Structure 1
Amino acid sequence: MSKVLVAYFSASGVTAALSKRLADSIGADLFEIKPQVTYTDADLDWRDKQSRSSVEMADKSSRPAISEKVDNIEQYSTVYVGFPVWWYREPSIIDTFIESHDFKGITIVPFATSGGSDIGDSYKNIQELAPGSTVVQGKRFDKDASAQELKTWAAQWIK
């Protein structure tokens, strides 16, 4: 079996918990996508059009800096990329993460957490940012998804 990575961004801890459960259930390495500047509660206030997250998501070219990259990304055959749904898509920091690595020949599997919003066209956005990779549609999970549910879902892309 080839190496598998679960990389995730979590603003509130919900996606982090789900990502850890996924990584444990499939025996994958785990990598947290951390912003150089941590998001505060005020930054995450989606009702405030001037909050950091609102400004970033309104600008499709926004690329918030990440604190570190994955060493030797090419060692992985499959990378699961987890995130909370922001404005019906992946947060801009995910775009930074994708563009910061060469995913050529790697299968990218997006997964998301949300109270109700779907994952939307995140996979299409990610595919545009990762030429030479294969990006599948992915799935949104409830925060309480079981390890068995995650393992069963994830197994279809592990080579």
Structure 2
Amino acid sequence: MSKTLVAYFSASGVTGKVAEKIAKVANADLFEIVPVTPYTSEDLDWQNSKSRSSVEMNDATCRPAISIKIGNIAGYNHVFLGFPIWWYREPSIIDTFLESYDFSGIIIVPFCTSGGSNLGDTVKNLQKLTKGAMVINGKRFTQDTPEEEYKKWIDEIMA
């Protein structure tokens, strides 16, 4: 029997709402990727080159610490991985999450939230961080995406 996880990082709450909808439709476990040091609105100011998020995204080696870990990632066949798009890619905390586990044999399905940017090179980035996993093309959602669209997308992936 296939077991599914929806893991997500949400800085403003939008990705969290989308992740909850996906978990409900997919009948999946839900896990929030929570940073040890929460992001403030000042940290997220993308127009400030000295803001925390700007500094992290300009340093490819940055790995923000995560406060909670999953017990057994190997128990999942599919991991839907959600995050906001920052600087045309996944936030660095997603890299921390992926490097914290062995995803061998797991299908990773990224999904993102954004005002307009799509996943860009994210699939390539995720594949490099998850040797032995299969990262498939994901999708961008908004918090207003109708449930039928989630269902159609998930049914195509799980078929």
Q: What TM-score range do you get, normalising by the shorter chain?
A: over 0.9
Task: Find the residue that maps to 2:120 and give its secondary structure.
Answer: coil
Q: Aligned residue for 2:134? A: 134
Checking the alignment, whether the CA contact within 8 Å between 1:78 and 1:157 is kept in structure 2 is: no
Q: Normalising by structure 2, what TM-score? A: 0.97
- Tell me the percent identity: 58
Cα RMSD after superposing both structures: 0.9
Residue 158 of structure 1, CA deviation: 2.5
Query: How many angstroms apart in 2 are the aligned matches of 1:151 and 1:74?
Result: 25
Residue 68 of structure 1, CA deviation: 1.4
Q: Aligned residue for 1:13? A: 13
Q: For residue 102 of structure 1, what is the amino acid of its counterpart?
A: D
Query: How many angstroms apart in 1 are the aligned matches of 2:100 and 2:68?
Result: 10
Return 5+ residue gaps in structure 2 as ranges: none
Q: Aligned residue for 1:79? A: 79
Task: Find the residue that maps to 2:23 and give its secondary structure.
Answer: helix
Q: Aligned residue for 1:125? A: 125
Q: For residue 108 of structure 1, what is the amino acid of its counterpart?
A: I
Instruction: Report Cα offsets for 1:58-117 as digits up to 9, x if no partner.
Output: 011110000111111001000000000000000000000000011000000000000111
Query: How many angstroms apart in 2 are the aligned matches of 1:104 and 1:156?
Result: 22
Task: Find the residue that maps to 1:86 and give its secondary structure.
Answer: coil
Ranges of 4+ aligned residues in structure 1 off by more than 6 Å: none
Task: Find the residue that maps to 2:83 and give its secondary structure.
Answer: strand
Residue 156 of structure 1, CA deviation: 2.6
